[in-house]
Amino acid sequence: MEILLTSFTVAWVLTLIAVRSSRHFAHLSHDNDLSGPQKIHAEPVPRIGGLGIFGGVLAAVVLLDWRGGPGWSFGALLMMAAVPAFAAGFIEDLLKSVSPLRRLLATAASAALAAVLVDALVRRTDIPGLDWVAASTVGAAVLTIPAVAGIANAVNIIDGFNGLASMCSMLMLAAIAYVAFQVGDQELVYLAVAGIGAVLGFFLWNYPAGQIFLGDGGAYFLGFFVAELGVLLIVRNQQVSPLFPLVVCIYPVFETLFSIYRRVVVRGHHASHPDGVHLHSLVFKRLMRWAVGSQDPRQRTRRNSLTSPYLWVLCSLPLAPAVLSWHSSAIQAALLVTFALIYVALYSRIVTFRTPRWLIFRR
């Protein structure tokens, strides 16, 4: 509880300071672009919420050091590794000058640092043909570094509505914390709880009113943090299925893979080409009926916030069975296939205007 309350309080206070002082540096911190295909907010909003989350987790690690508890040095090394991913995103939030490729390389650099500092390398996959690759250090690095960088970018992709990425991150961290507790890995439990507290401190300012955004810094840090805790869970505990972290992160991961397929194969665009047809965007447009409703900023913000719970449910669908079968790779693989089928079926129904009536929000 000390860890949870410390990370929560520090993140809440830092986010409060960012919100209240934002008018003094609005030219740097605010998202003033209201016309992009993925822009839903009705007025400029500061997008430096990641500062509070990073500070909250860091404060929890300092507390562990002061208490002399397990995990402080381990957590400190992990936070050191997270610096490139967080810094690249935070600089983009302020200066809008860091390209997607450079941010991807920064998250890969963080993953490489974690591999060196805390041995965060996946050496088993339970996937035919990949285990022999993961058996060597080079092969494990080839598998782990792109995977961690990909998850960090995937969390950034789903960060499109108030509370969406932050709540999904808390759900994923809670699943990791539960399994870490089951296998007696106290260090990972502490770090996952620290992450939950820090995200919650930000969440109360972000949802539902959207007074501050997660930003690239927050999204990349959270994605990296969740991915690394998942990797370390299976590295340090051989009884946990190596597919479990992938199931935990399957919503942002599959959203990213499906978006790349949609952009490159279906539309012939570049993989990083922005568009407004992510699943969360379709939920807002088709289920919230924003186009036929009031365009008052308060109503638009309300509909923005009402979009997120739909995706929270989708994110949580595989988590309950995953944490109950964390030791079985066969069940984890079945959950991956089931989620993919549910996602594609849901996307197909919504994009072709065949959404079930009971899903459509009505005033």
156 assigned binding-site residue = yes
The three-state (H, E, C) secondary structure of the chain, written as one string: CHHHHHHHHHHHHHHHHHHHCHHHHHHHHEECCCCCCCCCCCCCEECCCHHHHHHHHHHHHHHHHHHCCCCHHHHHHHHHHHHHHHHHHHHHHHHCCCCHHHHHHHHHHHHHHHHHHHCCCCCCCCCCCCHHHHCCHHHHHHHHHHHHHHHHHHHHHCCCCCCHHHHHHHHHHHHHHHHHHHCCCHHHHHHHHHHHHHHHHHHHHHCCCCCCCCHHHHHHHHHHHHHHHHHHHHHHCCCCCCCHHHHHCHHHHHHHHHHHHHHHHHCCCCCCCCCCCCHHHHHHHHHCCHHHCCCCHHHHHHHHHHHHHHHHHHHHCCHHHHHHCCCCHHHHHHHHHHHHHHHHHHHHHHHCCCCCHHHCCCC
216 assigned binding-site residue = yes
Which residues define the annotated binding site for Mg(2+)?
156, 216
- Binding site members: 156, 216
